[in-house]
Amino acid sequence: MQSVKTKPAIEPIEFPTTRTDSDPVLHDRRPPSVRADERLLTPQEVADRLGVSQRWVRDHATRRWPRITAVKLGSLLRFRWRDVEDFLAHNTLQGSSKKQVGGV
């Protein structure tokens, strides 16, 4: 009598080979290093740079206007310095609203 070959109930899985640090494909997938000016800042770091309290920074991140754009990471607030600079640029007073009287 001739034996019949059947497929095993579970077929083996072939895993891809492990990549090494010298593999150029792996290097392409790594995120580029973050520049210091692109790093997310804490409310305390923003407060220190602006010379205000952390509470003031948090208040301006959650109010309607004027508002500092913030990134919410769970319960944490983080800030991009360029967003803080935009906030400052849009809220800078331009000259005096009062007319100067000549000779006084």
Instruction: Name the amino acid, one letter, at 78.
Output: R
Q: What percent of the chain is predicted at pLDDT more than 90?
A: 52
In this predicted structure, what is the pLDDT of residue 38? Answer: 81
In this predicted structure, what is the pLDDT of residue 9? Answer: 72
Strands 76-78 and 71-73, by their bridges, are antiparallel
Residue pair 77/63 in contact (Cβ under 8 Å)? The answer is no
88: closest CA among 52, 38, 36? Answer: 52
Is the whole model's pTM more than 0.95, yes or no? no
Domains of the chain from N-terminus onward: 38-90 (1.10.1660.10)
Alpha carbon 58 to its chain's center: 17
